[in-house]
Structure 1
Amino acid sequence: MDFSRPGFSPWRWITLVASLLTCGICQASGQLFISPDSLIGVEKHRTILTLENVPEDVLEYSWYRGTDNSTGNMIFSYKPPNTRHPGPLFSGRENVTRAGSLVFKMSAVNDTGNYTVEVDASNGTQRATGWLEILKLGNDPGITANASANTSTLVEGMDSVLAECLTNSSNIKWYLNSVPTSGSNRMTISSDGKTLVIHRVSRSDYSLQCTIEDIPEIIQRSEVIRFSVSYGPDYVSLWTQPDFFAGVLTAAIGSSVQLECTCFSRPKPKYHWIHNGSLLSISEENMTLPSLSWEQMGSYRCIVENLETQLAFYRDVTIQPPQLGPLPTVNKEFYIPGYWVKFLILLAIAGGVFVCLILAYTLFLFCSTGKTCHKCPCRPVRQGDEGERQRRKSLL
C-alpha cells in the first residue's frame, strides 16, 4: 500500500490496523465482523464488504455509513428473502446480497470510510464496524509501435514491428492477438518487459497490447494497436468447365467454356488474362466464353498480382477442339470357316514336312555318290597299272 498516496492519512492506517485487530478478537469469540480481506477496494471496480460469523435465523441486515447506526446514515436494508429498502445515503451503486454482504458495483475514492452493519436475528442484535479504503489506480499504460513500414501496410515475412509500453511499472505483460505472449524465434521482449520486437510479422498477427498488474487481480490495459498484414497470392488454382486434364481443355466449337482463377491474398489481388500472348481487357477472376469460336482456341494464362507484396503467380490452360476420328474405309471382309482353317494349317504343315524330306533325300544321294566314285568302273586307269587292270577283269 502506498502511504504517500494523496488522501491517505496516518490515522486512517491506525484505524484500519485497529479494525483488523478487533476483527481477530471477534473471530476468536465468535462475534459478527467484517472480513479484513474485503476492507480494501479499487476505484472503478466492484467492492464487497463480506460478513463473517453471521448468526442464524437473521431477520434483517442494515448497513450504515460511519459508526453511527442512525436512520439518516442508512445505506440499505435487507429482510430475507426478498425485501430490500434503500436508505438516505443510497447512491444507486450499492446492494445487499442474500448473505448480508454490502456490494459496491463501481467503487469510488470517496467511498473510503467507516461502515457499520447491524444484524437482527431471532436471538438478538449484533453490530460490526470496519474501515474501507478505496485505492486509486494510476494511469493506464500507454503503447507506441514503430514498424519498418506503416502498420497499415505490413508485408508478411518482410516487415518488423517495435512496440514500447509506456509505464513505470515493472509488472508488464504483452498480449498478441489477445493472448499472453513471451519471447520466441521471431519475437523478442526486453529484460524490463517494456519493449517488444516482432522480427517477422505473420498474417495471423492483427493486434498488440500491453498490461500492468500492480494490484493483484486488477489488470490495467493499454489501447490496442491493430495490424493489417498483407500476404500472398498463394495457393493459386484454376477451375474450368468443362474440366481440363494435363493443362489441356477439350471443347467443341460453339460450346460454353468457363475459366475461374482463385487464390489466397490480402489485399484482394489484380487479375490479368493473356490469350496466345495478347493481354485481354478482363480484370476479374472469372472469364466466360459463351460460344467458343476458332479464334478463341489456344493457350490462356491467368496472372494473379498483389500490389502490396509485389508478388505475382500464374496458371496456364490450353483450349483445343476434339481430335478427328480415322477416315471411313470400305469393309471387305473375307470369311473362312473354321474347319477349312484347320485343313489349310494341316496342309501347310504336311507340305513343309514333304519339302524337308525331299531336301534330306537329295542331300543323302549327293553325299552317297561322292563316296563311291572312287570305285567307279568308268574311272580311267593309268598305264602300267597292271594290278588294277587284273582286278577289274575279275570284277567283270
Structure 2
Amino acid sequence: MASTALWAHHWAGLLLSASLLTTWSLPAAAQLTLGDRLPKATRSSLAKPTIAVSQGTAIEHREGVSFYCDTKDVNITIYWVSNNHPLKFDERMWLSTDRKNLTILTVQREDAGTYQCEVWGVLQVQSSNPTFLIVYYGPDPVEIKLEPGVPNGEAVEVIEGSNLTFSVETLSHPHPDYSWFFSNDSKPITSLSSTTSTFTLHAASKEHEGLYRCLVSNKATNLSRLGALKVRVLERVTKPCITSPNLNLVENASLVVLTCQTSHEGVGVQWFLRGQPLLPSPHLVLSADNRTLVIHGLRRDDVGPYECEVWNWGSGARSDSFRLNISYGPDRADITRGPASEAVSTIKAEFNSSLTLQCRAESQPDAEFHWTLEHSTSVWTGEQLIIEALTWEHQGTYNCVAFNSLTHLASSASVRVRVMDWPMPTYANVPNTQEQVRVKKVLTQDPPGEFHEKESSSAVHGGYSRGPRKPQPKLASDPSVPTLPKGNTESNYEVLVNPEHNLYCHINSSV
C-alpha cells in the first residue's frame, strides 16, 4: 500500500516529464490519464515485496528488533511505513545502504504496531503485507487513588461511615497482577483477586486507618512496582464548648482566655462574635491553631456572645453561645429629685413637704448606695432617700456614695437642700383691730446657724384671727426606702396682749 505523502516528491519529476510528453505528442482531446497511458506489462512489472522480522515481541529498553524487506526487482527504491505513516527515523534506528534492512537498536513502547516496506519503480509502487511488533513495558510508577478522600499532607482523609473505593493507576503491557496489603501486614488481602486494580471498603471506621499498599507485577517484563497510600479516618465532629478559667472579670483590669474545647484532632476552628466571624486584632488575639482566644484590655462591650465552630472537610459543628460576665463601674453618680428628673445640685423645698432624693450610677453589678447629711453621723442606705415632712433639721448638703463590691470602685455626688417658707404662729382670743394689741415677736426654730426675727404676718379681720397654715399631708413611707427622722420640732411661743382686756394666750405649737 503506497502512501501519497511518502512518494509525492518521487512522482513530482515523473509527472512533469509526462506532462511535457503529452503536451506535444497528443492532442488535447485525446489526452489520457497517466495510468491509462501505461502499458499493462509495465504496470505489473514490479513484484510484491515481503517483510521479515527478527522477533514479533520485544521488551522496552532491553531489546532490539530487525526488519528485512525482500524483493527481486532492481532499479527500485525501498521506503518503510509504520502504522500507515512514513517511518520517522531517529538515533535508535539503523538503515542499510540498500534500505532493505531496518534495525531498531533499543525498542520503546511507541515502536509497537504494524510495519511495511514499499518498492518504488519508475511508474509503479508495490507494498508488502504488514507485520506486527509487540512491545512489552511497565509497570510504570504506581499511584493509588481514593474516593471520596481529600489529600492532607502525607495522608488522604476520609470521613467515618463512608464507603471507600481504592484504585491503582499505572501503565503496563500486558495487563499486570495486583496484590493489596493493609498497614504493616506482610500478607496480601486474600479476599481480593490478583487481577483487581480497584476495591471498595464499606463503612470506614478508625480501625481502617493506616497504610495501604499495592504491588503491581508484569510477568512479561518481570518488573514490579509498589504503591502506597496512608489513610486517616476522621470522626464526624461533635459540638464543641467554650471554657474560660477567668470567673471574676473586671473592666480594664482582666485578661480573658477563651478555649474552644473539642476532642477531635486535626480539625479547623473558627470563632464568631455576635453571630459574625471574629476578626483578630491587638485586642482580640487568636492562637496559631485558633483554639484559644485572648481578650486584652477587657471592655464592658466584650460580653459577647461568643461561639466557636470546629470542622473538617466532611462535617462541622458549632458551640452554644457563651457570654462573659464583666463587672464595671460605678460610673459618674448623679442625684435627682425623684426617679424621672434631671440631675440637680440644689433643691428648694417647702417646709413640711415631702422630698424624694434618688442616686443613680451605671454599674455591673448594681452599686450599693450610702447617704450622709453634713453635720450628722447617721448613714442611710438605698437608692432612694425619702423625707416625708421637711423641717429645718433636714436642711443641708446630702452626699451619696455609689460603691461596687466587685470592682472596689466608688463614685459620689452631693446636693444642697434648702427648706423654704417659715411656719406661722397661732393666736387665740385676739381682739378686733380697733383695740390696741401689743404682740411680742415670735422666734421660730431655724436651721442651724440661721436665726431670723420676723414680724407676724397674721392679721385680724372682723374680730377673727387668721389661723395657722395647715401642714401638707405626709407621704406613705416604704419600709425598704430610708426615711429621715422628723426630729423635735416643738416650739413655745408667748403672746402678750393689753392687760386692760385681761387677755393672755400661751401657744404650744408643733410643726
Q: TM bucket by the smaller chain?
A: 0.3 to 0.5
Higher helix fraction (1 or 2): 1
Kindly indicate whether structure 1 or structure 2 has the higher relative contact order, using CA contacts under 8 Å at least 6 residues apart: 1
Larger gyration radius, structure 1 or structure 2: 2
